[in-house]
Amino acid sequence: GNSVTQMEGPVTLSEEAFLTINCTYTATGYPSLFWYVQYPGEGLQLLLKATKADDKGSNKGFEATYRKETTSFHLEKGSVQVSDSAVYFCALMNTGNQFYFGTGTSLTVIP
């Protein structure tokens, strides 16, 4: 079946620290992989995506590389800001147009 496992939170970092949020997946075939971000009181927003192995998704300083050999899609950012405080969800989409989400990782960045 399809499933996503991501690093449990919450994660608290100081401003300008390096961020890694781990995400691994189980899927049949060749899924597309995504990171979504949810700010307080809002819906999910697409942060970045990768549709095939070795693709790197990037946006707003965040990056993630689709690693088929390790079935991973870890999210990284070199220098976090207070405004990055949010909940981050790793997700995959396989055939059928439905998402499979991880449980979310809450990030708090302190000045």
Partner 1 sequence: NAGVMQNPRHLVRRRGQEARLRCSPMKGHSHVYWYRQLPEEGLKFMVYLQKENIIDESGMPKERFSAEFPKEGPSILRIQQVVRGDSAAYFCASSPAPSGGYNEQFFGPGTRLTVL
Give me the residues that bind partner 1 (CB under 8 A), please. Answer: 4, 32, 36, 41-46, 49, 51, 89, 93, 96-104
Strands 99-101 and 105-110: unpaired
Q: Considering the complex, what minimum distance in angstroms separates the CB of residue 111 from partner 1? A: 27
Q: Considering the complex, what minimum distance in angstroms separates the CB of residue 104 from partner 1? A: 5
For partner 1, give the closer residue by CB, 71 or 100. Answer: 100
For partner 1, give the closer residue by CB, 70 or 97. Answer: 97
For partner 1, give the closer residue by CB, 12 or 51. Answer: 51
Tell me, what DSSP letter sits at residue 16?
T
**Nearest-5° Cα angle at 43, 54 to 33:** 15
Residue 44 tokens, joined: 């999910």
Task: Please count the CA atoms within 13 angstroms of the CA of 86 that sit on its side-chain side.
Answer: 18
Nearest-angstrom CA–CA distance, 105 and 98: 21
Q: Considering the complex, what minimum distance in angstroms separates the CB of residue 15 from partner 1? A: 27
For partner 1, give the closer residue by CB, 51 or 79. Answer: 51
